[in-house]
Structure 1
Amino acid sequence: MIPAAKQPWFQSIFQSITRRLLTKHFHSISISKHSLKSPPSHALFILNHSSWWDGLVSFYLDRLLFGKSGYFMMHESGMKRYPYFRYLGAFSINRDNPKDILRSLQYGASCLSEGDNVWMFPQGDERHLETRPLGFMSGFLYIAEKQPHAPIVPICYYYSFGHHQKPELYISLGEPLIYSNIIGTTRAEKAVEIEQICTKQLDELKKLVVSEAYDSFIPLEKWRWPE
């Protein structure tokens, strides 16, 4: 397991770089008005994973919306290919090695226990945006078990080509889930319940986008938490 090696100076620079990249490559990035109404002090964020952009968008959101520089689980192969992600807060996982999986999950739980945000993609690999079922693995619930008072917050990303040359990204921030309230007695059962919640959230987001209900969204840069 390759741990994170966060460098605040690098994160600040990379935040500016990421903003320019997103502005250049996307026509717009918007958040659903039906999203989370107040930011948690820290959380385990779980996201659907359909694009290379997901990691960069998550890093950008963490700083912009939550004022954090959290931790992000990343494939070991990707970490070795892009080692600078360690400086942003990424830590690795090698799913071919059970002991490494456990070390990575323990590391994530430790980060969450210290009041940091932890971001994970329960699908593990990128899957087509329209793939159903989403195919959540249950590893993220190990972290939730170790830190049951930290909320689990589902976030959905929906990419779309509308009436513009560049794609659009729509984001939905779900309501926090408390581990003890999740239906199921085993991790596998709870993972199924959370996957159903995330699927419903993603499908509702898709419905708004496809129906062009643009008044249901706020541009990312204009998002403000209610007072």
Structure 2
Amino acid sequence: MILKATHHPVIYPFFSLYTRLKIQRHFHKVHITGTHTEKHLPVFLISNHISWWDGFWAMYLNLKLFHRKFFFMMLEEQLKRHIYFNKTGGYSVRKGSKTIVETLNYTAELLADPGNIVLIFPTGEIESMHKQVHHFEKGVEYILKKVKNEIQIIFLVNLVDYFSNQKPGLYMFIKEHTGKDFRSDILQEEYDRFYIQCVSSNISKGGEA
């Protein structure tokens, strides 16, 4: 059995407010680059995983752009350790367990509701943001083949740079993926191309940011 997500009527709104305040406190500025067309579809957010902050950043992006009920996959041992995340949209995944299929099926179910946004880290582990080639696990492909309705797939790249500021700036890049080939290696190639473009864009900002 997996831990399915809930949205506590007090904890979830508090988490949303806490996210805004925490990011405003710790970052010089948040830059969101990319276009988003509201299609009134479920949103599948595919993101790089570079730090403890990633879930907060995705929640912030949701509050700013997507305005949907937020769900995210989290390692079971971490979710049990921080059970309050289960009350803010977090649900469990246990690597190497038979329950992983249940988790993937549950993710596909969540993507049947146009009021939902589901965050996933396809590499399954934290990696340096300087790494520009990512290995996507097969779970992403499984989920997308399981979903029968139309969804909106959004690539998210998060980068952090200080430039001339005392506090870091958060640079969030988004791009809608419109391809119909959901094989993990194809998605990975598309994501990596986008990632390299985002890094190049940030380098060119330099002291202007």
For 2:204, the equivalent position in structure 1 comes to: 211
1:214: how far off? 8.3
Which one-letter code corresponds to 1:85 in the other structure?
A: F
Query: How many residue pairs align between the two structures?
Result: 205
Identical columns (%):
26
**How far apart are the structure 2 equivalents of 1:143 and 1:67?**
22
The answer (yes or no) to whether the contact 1:157–1:202 under 8 Å persists in 2 is: no
The answer (yes or no) to whether the contact 2:5–2:89 under 8 Å persists in 1 is: yes
**How far apart are the structure 2 equivalents of 1:8 and 1:62?**
18
Change (3 A) 1:25 1:53: same
Alignment of 1:195-210 (within 5 A): 195-210=188-203
For 2:109, the equivalent position in structure 1 comes to: 110
- Pick aligned residue for 2:184 from 180, 184, 191: 191
User: TM (normalized to structure 1)?
Assistant: 0.84
Alignment of 1:86-97 (within 5 A): 86-97=86-97
Structure 1: where are the runs of 5+ without partners?
218-227
Change (3 A) 1:204 1:119: same
1:36: how far off? 2.4
For 2:20, the equivalent position in structure 1 comes to: 19
Deviation string 1:66-121 (CA, Å, 9 cap, x unpaired) is: 11122111111210111100111010100021x11101001111111122221100
SS at match of 1:211: helix
**How far apart are the structure 2 equivalents of 1:87 and 1:46?**
22
**How far apart are the structure 1 equivalents of 2:158 and 2:101?**
28
1:177: how far off? 2.6
Query: Which is strand-richer, 1 or 2?
Result: 2
The answer (yes or no) to whether the contact 2:163–2:206 under 8 Å persists in 1 is: no
Instruction: Find runs of 4+ consecutive structure 1 residues off by over 4 angstroms.
Output: none
Alignment of 1:79-90 (within 5 A): 79-90=79-90
For 2:76, the equivalent position in structure 1 comes to: 76
Structure 2: where are the runs of 5+ without partners?
none
Which one-letter code corresponds to 1:129 in the other structure?
A: M
